[in-house]
Structure 1
Amino acid sequence: MSSDINTTKMDAMVDDQPKKLHIAMFPWLAFGHIIPFLELSKLIARKGHRISFISTPRNIERLPKIPLDLAAFITFVKLPLPHLENLPENAEATMDLPHHIVPYLKIAYDSLQEPLSRFLETSTPDWIVYDFAPHWLPPIAIKLCISRAFFSVFSASCLGFFGPPAESSVMEDAIHPKGMRMEPERLTVPPKWITFPTKVAFPLFVANEVILAFFEENASGISDWFRFSKMALGSEVMAVKACMEVEGEWLKLVENLFNLPVIPVGLLPPSGEGQLVHDDHKDSAWGTIVEWLDKQEKGSVVYVAFGSESEPSQEDFKELALGLEQSGLPFFLVIRKQNLPESEDSDEQIPEGFEERIKDRGIVWWGWAPQVKILGHDSVGGYFTHCGWSSVTEAFQFGRPLIMLPMFGDQVLNGKLLEEMQTGAEVPRNEQDGSFSRESVAKTLRLVMKDAEGQIYRDKAKEMMTSFGDKQLQYRYVDKFVEFLVNHRRVMLATKG
């Protein structure tokens, strides 16, 4: 009799233990998305859950190696990307392409529907965590009884500004009512559903571009807004790369607007150099870079980089370079091939004589650079950035104030949010055409880096270290997300049973 009782107790204890999950991760084919998905995967795997990380062969090959203690928990699933006539050979990510070709990458991505369906059917994960792009995925997951989570790598303020899909909105003045032509002016002011003061909105010159890129049907046959809408409506929970300490008001707004659980997963600070895509460049580059940085005064250097995909026009790049020269500040300028307009000879993009004139106080670095290491060096005092959310996260780990030149979409909204937070200053631009001058670049650089009236930016950026730089705080957000996944799945299975 006692043996039966003990057996019953043991069974109850086993039932009380949280079940280890199998989670499939399916990011969009852009490294600004793939890397946060991978960072989130690693943190979930540290809790003992199994990850199937799904992407294309070349993208997976370009990822950093998984730490040995996690290798048993993360499996990379390679789905070959079909070749399309409009896509260059071996182009499997947005960084491999000029912007106008990206819609064709979406066509290729959509063709992964069948192989992904086969994988999900045979591997039966508990959850699939997906990006904004695979609008066809939620019905497949529902049919296979796989729980669904939408992970947004965009800031909460960006999500809050655009609001929910029109067809789910309770608001009469949704930002893009179904079937209506979007008016650019609607994007130049905060929408009415934002219940707190903010300047987060687009200047007119960007608003027109956003409508074309996000709301209008592209070569893939649908708009990105359609993709986003279907993913949001088909999800059981939305995870956001954000934290309450930075975007608390916005996160609460997003949860109200979307009418589903919205869970911040933290800012996913990079776990060492592992978050960087080396792209065949050698680590020996750091030796050359640090030798130069070590010779500079503490906090004197401006680090200048615009991510792997932002592309200043030739005229903008010229004004940027000459503004750096005019500022009189030491700088480290990173130029990736993708950062320049298409040209046979990249050297043509640099103003004549520029490198010779600045050789005593500036570096022009062609190709990949170890961004996190550079930002962490004591000689770096500020970051001239395009305001990509991942880049901002890296800068604030070290309390670096920002000189901002956002170029498109979410970058612009991020810039407005960061200006409100007084963590940096944006280079003034013409509201109609987006142009700026070398003089405005130089003035903004000196303001943020040296001038007395710019001390507020330097102080506020240092304050950001208490949230962006506290990895334990950020990891606790992932713990709460995992707890939700476990509990939700348990309730679902119990209800089904």
Structure 2
Amino acid sequence: MPRPEGKRLHVAMFPGLATGHMTPFLHLANELAKRGHKVSYLLTKKAKIQLECGNLYPDVVTFHVLPVPHVEGLPPGTENASEIPIFLNSLFALAFDNMSDQVEAALSDLNPDVVLYDTAFRITDFAPKIGFKTVCYNVVSAASIALALVPARQMPKDRPLTEEELMEPPPGYPSSSVVLRKHEAKVLAFMSSEFGARTFYDRIITALKGCHAIAIRSCQELEGQFCDYIGGQYQKPVFLSGPVLPEQEKQPLDGKWAEWLGKFEQKSVVFCAFGSQIILEKQQFQELVLGFELTGLPFFVALKPPLGTGSIEESLPDGFEERVGGRGVVYGGWVQQPQILSHPSVGCFVNHCGFGSMWESLMSDCQIVLVPHLGDQILNSRLLCGDLKVAVEVERDESGWFSKESLSSAINAVMGPDSEVGSSLRKSHLKVKEILSSPGYMSNYVESFIQNLYEL
């Protein structure tokens, strides 16, 4: 169906209130606005402050602030899941649910053509009354949705899924690489836990079942088989937006870090970051930094202070700073990740394989070493290591613990000058990057996505 002449879409967005959800929604909003479409973005006061600098079209992308009702047990003023420990997510889900009346009123006033959401499953209740179409826009990998969140994986009504059941792929699952190990099935068992009045699984399945179309921040070349599987499972159209990566920031790297990185040879530094939500226990944190010391390579680690500690400095192993001297930095603040990854001295990126970091890894020239922590990160890692063969994953024992030796071994395996593993991964990575960075690749996906919205 061709686009109606002169017709511009009005798209409303209400992502889950966590940085890893809100930011990719804003990237998509900018792409829609660049093409003349109106976007109404529902968010909180803190999120507005956080995202304003990333709104490239403030005359077209308008923010609509909604308060988050307080729920007993949450720190006062909590507005973002990234502000709190993971064990409080269930209470935050309840607060998120309690925003439903405000969301309905806002959407009724705005009267959009289409609403994009991910975890806000109650949006589908408002759609018939207000008269908009619903698109469940997922900012996690298609591989993880296809393994954990399809109707073929039926949840028993009277009990959670066992670890053995979670380890078994659902019927027809299109990959033998993207699977769970026993200790990882425990991580994914949170699907059966209550998030507010419903389990996490119920929430996402309801969001996917109730929409007019499913959308995924992915592409056919990397995850086509999973997208096709999801479409067949839900009997719905699946729209792909592509990675929707922002243009490289023009802002230069902070002078302090540029000067430090500039001391080292090209592609010799190992950079490590685990995103905004991952906070390690002190013992695992110390094992991690000792692993970097063990590599003998220069390294830059950017992580939050471990649980129960006040600073990075007090958490470092005894004598660590003296031993690593000037070749290692462990920093507890925010850093410019894209600029660091593009620095000539950085040759390896050790990350948690959150979906944002996954794409940044693929678009970089760095070797990729993965230390996943949460369910979708584990499955993203399997995709990169198994199906795409562009990364290595740090080995863990049955409890999920990784040692300094296993971390050091994984890094040296990809960074060694004569490493066959490193050479093979680099070739596969280059092929993927060439696809993603080819002229018109990203914009063609966005154009196709917009056409899908018109046809809806």
TM > 0.5 fold call: yes
Q: Which residue of 2 aligns with 1:425?
A: 392
- Once the two structures are TM-superposed, the CA of residue 241 in structure 1 deviates from its matched residue by 0.9
8 Å contact 1:190–1:199 — kept in the other structure? no
Amino acid at match of 1:34: M
Q: Secondary structure at the match of 1:24?
A: strand
Q: Which residue of 1 aligns with 2:84?
A: 97
2: CA distance between counterparts of 1:84 and 1:178? 28
Change (3 A) 1:151 1:366: same
Q: 1:259 aligns with which of 232, 235, 238?
A: 235
Q: Does 1:158 align with 2:126?
A: no
Deviations 1:144-181 (A, max 9, x none): 1111000001101111112423xxxxx5xx34244453
Q: Which residue of 2 aligns with 1:389?
A: 355
8 Å contact 2:17–2:43 — kept in the other structure? yes
Q: Does 1:416 align with 2:394?
A: no
Mark the structure with the bigger radius of gyration.
1
1: CA distance between counterparts of 2:177 and 2:74? 39
1: CA distance between counterparts of 2:284 and 2:272? 14
Q: Does 1:198 align with 2:176?
A: yes
Trace 1:89-488 onto structure 2 (pairs within 5 A): 89-132=76-119, 134-165=120-151, 171=152, 174-194=153-173, 196-211=174-189, 213-218=190-195, 220-273=196-249, 286-337=254-305, 340-420=306-386, 421-430=388-397, 432-450=398-416, 451-454=418-421, 455-470=423-438, 472-488=440-456
8 Å contact 2:208–2:214 — kept in the other structure? yes
2: CA distance between counterparts of 1:90 and 1:433? 35
8 Å contact 1:355–1:364 — kept in the other structure? no
- Once the two structures are TM-superposed, the CA of residue 468 in structure 1 deviates from its matched residue by 3.1
Could you tell which deviates more after superposition, 40-49 or 134-143? 134-143
Deviations 1:201-240 (A, max 9, x none): 22211212321x212224x121111111111111011110
Q: Does 1:32 align with 2:23?
A: no
Q: Which residue of 1 aligns with 2:7?
A: 19
Could you tell which deviates more after superposition, 454-463 or 259-268? 454-463
8 Å contact 2:279–2:304 — kept in the other structure? no
1: CA distance between counterparts of 2:136 and 2:6? 22
8 Å contact 2:312–2:331 — kept in the other structure? no
2: CA distance between counterparts of 1:359 and 1:24? 51
8 Å contact 2:304–2:312 — kept in the other structure? no
Change (3 A) 1:34 1:100: same
Q: Which residue of 2 aligns with 1:168?
A: none
Instruction: Name stretches of at least 5 consecutive residues in structure 1 with no aligned partner.
Output: 1-12, 166-170, 275-282, 489-497
8 Å contact 1:24–1:129 — kept in the other structure? yes
Q: Which residue of 1 aligns with 2:50?
A: 62
8 Å contact 1:162–1:175 — kept in the other structure? no
Instruction: Name stretches of at least 5 consecutive residues in structure 2 with no aligned partner.
Output: none
Amino acid at match of 2:394: V
Change (3 A) 1:81 1:273: farther
2: CA distance between counterparts of 1:124 and 1:182? 40
Could you tell which deviates more after superposition, 285-294 or 440-449? 285-294
8 Å contact 2:253–2:340 — kept in the other structure? no
Change (3 A) 1:471 1:146: farther
Deviations 1:246-298 (A, max 9, x none): 11211111111121001111011123339xxxxxxxx8971111111122111
8 Å contact 1:18–1:486 — kept in the other structure? no
- Once the two structures are TM-superposed, the CA of residue 464 in structure 1 deviates from its matched residue by 2.1
- Once the two structures are TM-superposed, the CA of residue 309 in structure 1 deviates from its matched residue by 0.6
Q: 1:43 aligns with which of 10, 22, 31?
A: 31
- Once the two structures are TM-superposed, the CA of residue 342 in structure 1 deviates from its matched residue by 2.6
- Once the two structures are TM-superposed, the CA of residue 191 in structure 1 deviates from its matched residue by 2.6
Amino acid at match of 2:285: F
Change (3 A) 1:456 1:265: same
Q: Secondary structure at the match of 2:137?
A: strand
Q: Give the alignment's Cα RMSD to 1 decimal.
A: 2.0
2: CA distance between counterparts of 1:121 and 1:309? 33
Q: Secondary structure at the match of 1:358?
A: helix
Q: Secondary structure at the match of 1:106?
A: helix
Amino acid at match of 2:332: W
TM-score (norm 2): 0.94
Amino acid at match of 1:465: K
8 Å contact 2:295–2:408 — kept in the other structure? yes
Quote the sequence identity (%): 31
1: CA distance between counterparts of 2:310 and 2:55? 40
Change (3 A) 1:471 1:161: farther
8 Å contact 1:130–1:149 — kept in the other structure? yes
2: CA distance between counterparts of 1:347 and 1:360? 15
Amino acid at match of 1:209: V
2: CA distance between counterparts of 1:177 and 1:262? 27
Amino acid at match of 1:191: P
- Once the two structures are TM-superposed, the CA of residue 64 in structure 1 deviates from its matched residue by 4.3
- Once the two structures are TM-superposed, the CA of residue 139 in structure 1 deviates from its matched residue by 1.0
Q: Which residue of 2 aligns with 1:84?
A: 71
Amino acid at match of 2:169: P
Q: Secondary structure at the match of 2:326?
A: coil
Q: Secondary structure at the match of 2:302?
A: strand
2: CA distance between counterparts of 1:482 and 1:369? 33
8 Å contact 2:26–2:55 — kept in the other structure? no
2: CA distance between counterparts of 1:387 and 1:64? 26
Aligned residues, how many?
A: 452
8 Å contact 1:43–1:478 — kept in the other structure? yes
1: CA distance between counterparts of 2:94 and 2:159? 25
